[in-house]
Structure 1
Amino acid sequence: MTRADLGKDPSQVSAMFDRVAARYDRTNNVLSVGNAPLWRVATTRAVDPKPGERILDVAAGTGTSSASLAKSGASVVAADFSPGMIEVGRRRQAHVNNLVFVEADATKLPFGDDEFDAVTISFGLRNVNEPKRALAEFLRVTKPGGRLVVCEFSHPPAGFVRAGYDFYGRYVMPPLVKLSSSNDDAYDYLNESISAWPDQPTLATWIREAGYTDVAWRNLTMGVVALHRGRKPAAPAPVE
């Protein structure tokens, strides 16, 4: 099995990412036409990590986004369910002292309640077979008053942008993948998963239903990517 399907069986998705781990970052930079670093900067700013905070980066892959968060001085946990991704990440980010890697399923996080000041996930939620369950887990491990940031591919609101994006996915991306990836079949799945993913308002609704408040989003690259944010309600004041 070189690729998963839209059933998103965890073992298949994990094995697929194991296969692409070595060239994953390079392929992403090529396929995003150089936008991947800009999306990472926008996500880091939205998370707004601070020294002394504890941040959970879910579906962290090789830890590129985690390392960006760790530059703030925050303690960052990079969680991913692909052993191959974690192996590459530990090697590439070995110089980052305040970053640790943990193998974890987004729907069954191995952390206690109220552990993290912020939880973030970039381009990983659509690969989870039960994204609503994952959002509930994110809420559980977030401290009261803590924040959530989801960076994910989305649906450009402008028709001409959608048409151009569809053309790129159908006719431009496949040959680029063959040149840059170690497993081009896997990127067929990724393209399909982007098309099947819900739009910005729907994801915002899921985040609210999970229990987050102050939910909002902003589009990046004309809506090719959307950055969603939410906050876990603060703990009620003790009754005297």
Structure 2
Amino acid sequence: MSPDQHNRADLHKDPARVSGMFDQVAPAYDRTNLLMTVGNEKLWRVATHRAIDPKPGQRILDLAAGTGASSVSLARSGAHVVAGDFSPGMIAEGRRRHAGERNVEFVHADATDLPFDDDEFDTVTISYGLRNVNDPKRAIAEMLRVTKPGGRLVITEFSKPPSPFFAGFYRFYNAQVLPRVARIISSNADAYEYLNESIADWPDQKTLSGWIRDAGWTNVAYRNLSFGIVAVHRATKPLVGDR
């Protein structure tokens, strides 16, 4: 592929195409997201951080970590954070930006086949990345496998606003406004068209909660943010005697 060609994934979510697409947008990814969410991305990140509630000495897996902004924030609590991402470009950008962060370890990781031992992490979290996985149910099961008994899952993902009026406005923004903004500020507007399509195709909060429960997690709950544009899902891995 020549440098001026843009990689665009589609809803088949071929892993190589998804990875290549994120490789291309890695350098400007954080800035573009902040602009395209009109600053809400920072508020969502704070809510996710509070749901994770990192503690000194904990081992946390942050999947779809991108360039590691969320991982660094978690690590500054004293936790050791493994920033996992499927995109080598994102991992390389994260290592470049955060070379001095001692508590952050960047690892290339496929969410459907995690390169970690069973019962390794106190908390596993993924933000805005589960819908880009070609088999999200398998990924949720893999997250359960690598979490310690009694450990926690936090998934932050775009969702479905429950209000019909706001849902209509949100669909209009995604279909008409977002693509135009992406063409102005993004290095790969086609990538953001795919991301918009993946948001529209993603199931609602109750469906995702069902997937989490079916994988074996307990205490499954969610909290809507920004009228349900985003939802933070939480769950617990059962203790050995509770399985």
Q: TM-score, normalised by structure 2?
A: 0.96
Residue identity matched to 1:44: H
* 1:47 is the counterpart of 2:52: yes
Conservation of the 8 A alpha-carbon contact between 1:119 and 1:142: yes
Conservation of the 8 A alpha-carbon contact between 1:23 and 1:180: no
Counterparts of 1:171-186 in structure 2 under 5 Å?
171-186=176-191
For 1:63, the equivalent position in structure 2 comes to 68
Q: Measure, in 1, the Cα distance between the counterparts of 2:221 and 2:181.
A: 33
Residue identity matched to 2:223: R
For 1:14, the equivalent position in structure 2 comes to 19
For 1:196, the equivalent position in structure 2 comes to 201
Q: Measure, in 1, the Cα distance between the counterparts of 2:118 and 2:137.
A: 18
* 1:107 is the counterpart of 2:76: no
Q: Measure, in 1, the Cα distance between the counterparts of 2:230 and 2:239.
A: 29
Conservation of the 8 A alpha-carbon contact between 1:26 and 1:180: no
* Cα drift, residue 56 of structure 1: 0.1
* Cα drift, residue 141 of structure 1: 0.1
Pick from 151, 156, 159: which aligns with 2:161?
Answer: 156
Moved more, 171-180 or 224-233: 171-180
Aligned alpha-carbon RMSD (Å): 0.9
For 1:218, the equivalent position in structure 2 comes to 223
Please list every run of at least 4 consecutive aligned residues from structure 1 whose deviation after the TM superposition is greater than 2 angstroms: none
Conservation of the 8 A alpha-carbon contact between 1:50 and 1:74: yes
Q: Measure, in 2, the Cα distance between the counterparts of 1:83 and 1:19.
A: 10
Q: Measure, in 1, the Cα distance between the counterparts of 2:129 and 2:122.
A: 20
Q: Measure, in 2, the Cα distance between the counterparts of 1:93 and 1:159.
A: 42
* 1:209 is the counterpart of 2:233: no
- Equivalent residue of 2:151, what SS? strand
Q: Measure, in 2, the Cα distance between the counterparts of 1:31 and 1:93.
A: 24
| Identity level (%) | 66
Pick from 39, 42, 49: which aligns with 1:37?
Answer: 42
How many residues get paired?
A: 237
* Cα drift, residue 235 of structure 1: 2.0
Pick from 153, 162, 167: which aligns with 2:172?
Answer: 167
* Cα drift, residue 97 of structure 1: 1.1
Q: Could you tell me which runs of 5 or more consecutive residues in structure 2 were left unpaired when the two chains were aligned.
A: 1-5
Q: Measure, in 2, the Cα distance between the counterparts of 1:37 and 1:63.
A: 14
